[in-house]
Chains A and B, each alone.
Chain A
Amino acid sequence: MPHADSLDLAALVEPDRVHRSVYADPAIFDREMARIHERVWIYCGHLSQVPKPGDYYAVQVGRQPMLLVRGKDGQAHVLYNRCPHRGNMMCGDRSGNTGDHFRCSYHSWTFHHDGTLRNIPMMDSGYAGTRLDRDSADCSMKRAARVAVYRGFVFASLAAEGPSLEEFLGPARIAFDDMCDRAPQGEVEIVPICYRVVQKSNWKIFLENQLDALHPSVTHQSTGRAALDVETEIAKATGEAPLSYHMLSAFASVTIDKWDAFQTLNYPYGHCILTGYMGLRPKDPDTLAYEAVMEKAYGATRAAEILAVNIHHVLLYPGLSVQSALQQLRAVRPLGVDRTLTEIWHFRLKGAPEPIYRRSLAYYNLVNSPATVVNADDLENFWKCHQGLSSDGGDWVSFQRHFGRDVERDGVVETTMGTSEAPMRNQMKAWAQYMARA
């Protein structure tokens, strides 16, 4: 395997294929953490995760252990989880409340919620005549270079320079607009449970799978068939099966040729959208009741606009996969070249009737729980992919499906075929651009 330093990184990514070392070389992994994840906007959490002053969540940004914390002023701060004195981690738990201030467990240096120094024990007796300056940045917890919030979703960038969050998100911010607009109150609230699943594969393999419209009918055939059988039985017995069966049986009932009817939209910075296919707007009483609440909240015209948005998946490269219509997201935390953690969260539409929450909850449990009958087979593929790409059995990964048939308009690539590998090509294009910047 050639090493990153001796490699022409540009030569590893061609418009329609990618060299396997991009996935398997640890030196390339280190460089992409430095040049991508530790520079771009990375999702840290939702404001409703840290409702009270002092509430914090530990979050990994690239290789950096960070803390998302709510300050007394209501602001969300993102700090390195490190005491400036001797380097001790400030918080050892995944989440909690730090009280009025952070206090280091080693020598009791204390810090305000925004990271600035509060107190150093023995400041006068111990440090008089030394060069320690309590007003210097060296005596405060280091802050993420930039923090920004979009509709309650908190992002941090560890680079001082770069596009603003809104510019970075671009049209893909519809991931959050679609999710929040579906709430009669215009905002969502986190469900305080996180499923955490480790994939034994490179982080890009997961992201490339998210909008791969050909894989469901192959990978998830067994679950689709099983769910279709039971759905049919229930329908025979009671007239209609719950929508959750349809969410699973769609893997089998939407056959390969039908996937081409859907569309992908591919934006700058590697973001992509796959349009919806599950038909989540049935005419059942629950849906109709919810739509009535929406009309009351927004007026008929605006409500119709919101409910007409039909998105299955929005991928915000390089770290987030959002299913806005089902109010869930998966944050990608690379742990190493061959290990990736996904943190999977569900949100509640504020002001929506309970059955609408229950419906998306069923999907969250079936698809994303640690006992999922769906992602199990994806994880198997991810591991197998990484094994193959670590071998000398071949050098290239092909992204040639429907290559040359995409339509580009104002920097946005639209596919005419849903099974196009345009989303993978778009992600790798952004990857190459990021990696080329010193």
Chain B
Amino acid sequence: MARRKASRKATRPARPKLATRTRAATTRGRAPARPAAAGDTLRAVEQFLYRQAELLDSKRWQEYIDLFAPGGIYWMPAEPSQTTWEGVPAIFAEDRNLMVVRMKRVQHPDAWSQRPLWGTNHLVSNVTIERESAREVVARSRFHMMELRRDDVRHFAGSYVHHLVRTGETFRITLQRVDPVNAQATYDYVLQVWV
């Protein structure tokens, strides 16, 4: 572990990073409050989250599924106090296999409820890094999703917690927790794909 950390550190100065420069400017004359790596991670995670949202909104389902590690889980708890996706009701609790069922269904010509035009727009913000190690990152963020289906607009908003594992320059998701503030509200029609 220590060796891997050292080797990452050794390669860092070769890559110019906007976040690093920004912090250097604001903490001029003092030692940085956090190691430079934190800013790199934040920016990389933000870019990852934006890409994930973009894949959803442009309906690139397979690429979206590929953001998940083998064994990765997309989880939307039924209730905010839940601490595990296993053995409790969940609005979503899907591994990659179940995600493929959902994708194939949506793409099937006889998925009747999918025939009306629908689209979504996700905004992701308030990104913070909760924990990180050489291998893993846990990031928290907030989302707002607007959906148009036929002439009806719905809004879902809430928080994401991404458990990410580093793979080269980017990440794969081992667990994504999605807590909409309206998880226990009534559903006028259901959620068709991931939020």
Residues of A whose CB lies within 8 Å of any CB of B are 191, 193-198, 200, 219, 221-223, 225-227, 229-230, 233-234, 245, 248, 341, 346, 354, 357-358, 361, 364-365, 369-373, 375-377, 379-381
Contacts and interface: CB of A to CB of B under 8 A. Distances in A.
B76 A371 contact: yes
Contacts of B103: 226
A195 B89 CA distance: 9
A195 B132 CA distance: 35
B93 A230 contact: no
Interface stretch (B1-9, B20-28, B104-112): B104-112
Interface stretch (B32-40, B49-57, B164-172, B183-191): B183-191
Given A196-B186, A198-B186, A376-B192, A222 B76 contact: no
A230 B89 contact: no
A193 B76 contact: no
Contacts of A346: 89
A346 B88 CA distance: 10
Contacts of A197: 186-187, 190
B153 interface: no
A222 B108 contact: yes
B18 interface: no
B148 interface: no
Contacts of B108: 221-222, 225-226
A344 to B, nearest CB: 10
B102 interface: yes
9 closest A-B pairs by CB:
A222-B108, A226-B104, A380-B113, A222-B111, A370-B187, A226-B105, A193-B89, A371-B191, A196-B186
Contacts of B189: 198, 200, 376, 379
B101 A230 contact: yes
B79 interface: yes
B69 interface: no
B105 A222 contact: yes
B68 interface: no
Main secondary structure of the interface of A (DSSP, over half): helix
B144 to A, nearest CB: 18
A207 to B, nearest CB: 19
A222 B76 CA distance: 23
A17 B33 CA distance: 77
Contact of A341 (B97, B184, B186): B186
Contacts, number: 109
Nearest to B100: A230
Nearest to A221: B110
Contacts of B110: 221-222
B90 A365 contact: yes
B91 interface: yes
Contacts of B16: none
Nearest to A384: B112
A219 B188 CA distance: 19
Interface of B: 76, 78-79, 87-93, 97-98, 100-105, 108-114, 184-192
Nearest to A371: B191
Contacts of A357: 87
A361 B186 contact: no
A377 B113 contact: yes
Given A225-B104, A227-B105, A369-B89, 19 more contacts: A196-B185, A197-B190, A222-B104, A222-B105, A222-B112, A226-B103, A226-B104, A229-B104, A230-B104, A245-B101, A341-B186, A354-B87, A361-B87, A361-B88, A369-B90, A373-B102, A376-B189, A376-B192, A380-B113
A364 B88 CA distance: 10
Given A227-B101, A234-B97, A370-B91, A193 B78 contact: yes
A196 B182 CA distance: 12
A434 to B, nearest CB: 27
A333 to B, nearest CB: 10
A141 B73 CA distance: 49
Nearest to B103: A226
A91 B193 CA distance: 36
B190 A370 contact: yes
A380 B192 CA distance: 12
B78 A195 contact: yes
A379 B113 contact: yes
Contacts of A369: 78, 89-92, 190
A358 B112 CA distance: 30
A280 B57 CA distance: 38
B112 A381 contact: yes
A248 B78 CA distance: 21
A116 B93 CA distance: 46
Given A221-B108, A223-B101, A223-B105, A379 B190 contact: yes
A336 to B, nearest CB: 13
A372 B109 CA distance: 18
Nearest to B195: A371
A339 to B, nearest CB: 9
A224 to B, nearest CB: 9
Contact of A364 (B89, B105, B187, B188): B89
A371 B92 contact: yes
16 contacts: A193-B78, A193-B79, A193-B88, A193-B89, A195-B78, A200-B189, A223-B101, A225-B108, A226-B101, A226-B108, A245-B101, A365-B89, A370-B91, A371-B92, A371-B191, A376-B113
